[in-house]
Amino acid sequence: MSQRDDDLGLFTSIPEAPPYPAQEKYQAHLLDQYKLYVEMADRVSSRRQSANSYFLSVNSAILAFVGYVTTKDSSGYLWLLGIAGMVLSFLWFSIITSYRDLNTAKFRIIHQIEQRLPLSLYDAEWNAMGRGKNPALYRPLSHIERIVPWVFLLLHLYVFTQTFPWQAMSSYFCSASR
C-alpha cells in the first residue's frame, strides 16, 4: 500500500484469512464499488451543471427585469435587486467552489482505486491533458465557470451604483447630523 493510499484511508487491510473466498470475488467487489463511485462523481457533475443553469437563469432574469423597469421610469428600488443579485452571484461562486473541491476529492479517490485495477483510465486521461497544467491541452472548466458569477456580480454592482438614491441618503445623513 502506498503512502498516498494511507493518507485517505481508502483501502482496508486484508487479514491473512481474507473475508473473500477468492481473489476474483475481491476484484469483482472492487470493480462494483469503483463503478458506483464513478457514477456518484458523475452525479455531482450533473448537480453542478444544474446549479449553474439555475443561477445563470436567475441572474439573467434579474438583469432583464432591471432593463425592463428602467424603461418605465419606476426604478426607485432597483438598487435592492442589485444587492440581491450580488448576494446570489457570491453564493453561486461559493457553490461552484464547493463542487470543484468535492469533484477533486472524488477523482483523487478514483485515481487510487484505479491503481488496483488493470487500467487507470481517468489517470491516463488526466496525464494526456497535462494534469490541467498546460492550457494548450486542457483548461479546467472550474477555472472558466468561476469567472461567470464575478461578471454577474459586477453587472449587479453597476445596477446598484446607478440606482441607489445617493443624494437622498446624503441629504438624510446631513440633516440628521445637525
User: How much is the pLDDT for 178?
Assistant: 61
Using a 10 angstrom Cβ sphere, with 0-12 exposed, 13-18 middle and 19 or more buried, the burial of residue 13 is exposed
User: How much is the pLDDT for 3?
Assistant: 47
Distance CA 54, CA 39 (A): 23
User: How much is the pLDDT for 168?
Assistant: 73
Which has more pLDDT, 120 or 7? 120
pTM over 0.75: yes
Distance CA 92, CA 55 (A): 6
Question: What is the chain's Cα-based Rg?
Answer: 25
- Please state, rounded to an integer, the average pLDDT across all residues of the chain: 84
Q: Given a cut of 60, is residue 1 above it in pLDDT? A: no
Label residue 99 by pLDDT band (50, 70, 90): very high
Q: What are phi and psi of 11, to 5 degrees?
A: -100, 140
User: How much is the pLDDT for 54?
Assistant: 96
User: How much is the pLDDT for 19?
Assistant: 55
